[in-house]
Amino acid sequence: MSHASAPIGPDQPMARFGGRLATGLLEVSHDPAALDTGGWWAVAHDFEGRLTCARFAQVRPDPVPVPAGPRWQGPRPDSWHSSLDRAAYTAGVRRIREHIAAGEVYQANLCRVLSAPLPDPDPARSDIDALTALLALGNPAPYAGTIRLPEHGIEIATASPELYLHRDGRSVSSGPIKGTGRTEHDLLDKDHAENVMIVDLVRNDLGRACATGSITVPDLCVVEKHPGLVHLVSTVAGRLRDGAGWPELFAASFPPGSVTGAPKSSALRIIDALETAPRGPYCGAVGWVDADRQRAELAVGIRTFWIDRADPAGPVLRFGTGAGITWGSDPEREWDETELKAARLVAIASGQHVE
């Protein structure tokens, strides 16, 4: 019979995913090949390419703790600012539509990073795992979790609804999300077209690491309901080719297609020109790999908070939000989509009551 363990200090390395708590940090590696060697690893892969893999000695059942006490003192609700304001973001949407008209890209994801100072620099009052607990109550998500590696500058709390990579032996799958609305009736033909476009991209990405002929699409444009919104979700599956492991999987599929665009190389170039802040863990990958059992679950790092303690002004909480831009995009509607995606989670992190 499992029972909750004693609390871990806010300065101690840990990871929490799927009702399991990992403690006893053994090593940290930046080599994806380490994930094929053995042990249980927490994985954080920044959008810009920094991969951090942390192997832990103990992994035990442990539910997300009930939020209690002053372990999380979030930012003031009015202290958030965006790397792109409304004018800059809508101008970016119009610029992407120009690239589409010129035939350079079919779709590109335009994102912005929200930042707010934490009122108390004490880690005991800005424990990222305590934020995970609040999110679990106010915005439950299938790939929620925590990675806390203070000495390596990684403090991440995710409430991601999107599967980047699932692995079971040689079988792999991805669950790209494209299309977001308050209700199913908000979803447009544009959302379905965008989803199909990204499914094709993910098929091609996984195909670079999988055996010829093994790629399938078990689900296409399924409506999933999440707190406060709905998504269109598809599933792409395949079987790893002989000799392919984590280095080949990441090389073939990272960064995730749903948060870049198609063609990916053109979308990444456009993103780099238009976005003014690094995405960091946002739109990267976050999750776990059990190398002994060849099982893994990595989420796309959306609906994800991270603490930046390197800022000269003091610790800052960051959160990313974005939208996929196509020829059919309306700039104001796309801005509103980024607001919808952020509103509930930012309110939770700021200590506001959310219905």
Q: What is Dmax (Cα atoms) for the chain? A: 62
Model pLDDT for residues 174-231, shown as the tens digit of each residue = 999 988 888 998 888 888 988 999 999 999 999 999 999 999 999 999 998 988 888 8
Query: Is the per-residue pLDDT at 65 higher than 80?
Result: no
Q: How far apart are CA 161 and CA 158, in angstroms?
A: 9
Residue reference for tokens 């690491």: 209
For residue 274, the one-letter residue type is L
Q: What are the E-state strand segments in 200-329? A: 216-226, 229-239, 261-262, 285-290, 295-300, 304-308, 316-325
Distance of CA 333 to the CA centre of its chain: 22
What domains are there in the chain, each with its CATH number?
14-63+80-349 (3.60.120.10)
For residue 180, the one-letter residue type is T
Joined together, the tokens standing for residue 307 give 């603490």
Q: Which pTM value belongs to this model?
A: 0.94
What is residue 67's predicted lDDT score, i.e. its pLDDT? 67
| Omega before residue 142 within 30° of 0, cis | no
Q: How far apart are CA 7 and CA 10, in angstroms?
A: 9
What is residue 2's predicted lDDT score, i.e. its pLDDT? 37
Neighbouring CB atoms inside 10 A of 333's CB total 15
Model pLDDT for residues 311-348, shown as the tens digit of each residue = 888 999 999 999 999 999 999 999 999 999 999 999 99
Model pLDDT for residues 93-112, shown as the tens digit of each residue = 999 999 999 999 999 999 99
Query: Is the per-residue pLDDT at 68 higher than 90?
Result: no
Q: How far apart are CA 106 and CA 100, in angstroms?
A: 6
Query: Is the per-residue pLDDT at 266 higher than 50?
Result: yes
Joined together, the tokens standing for residue 128 give 């990222």
Rounded alpha-carbon distances, angstroms, from residue 179 to 173, 186, 292:
20, 9, 36
Model pLDDT for residues 168-178, shown as the tens digit of each residue = 999 999 999 98
Model pLDDT for residues 291-308, shown as the tens digit of each residue = 999 999 999 999 999 999
Give the end-to-end CA distance of the chain in Å, rounded to a whole number: 34
Closest CA to 304 of 139, 178, 188, 78: 139
Alpha-carbon Rg for the chain in angstroms = 19
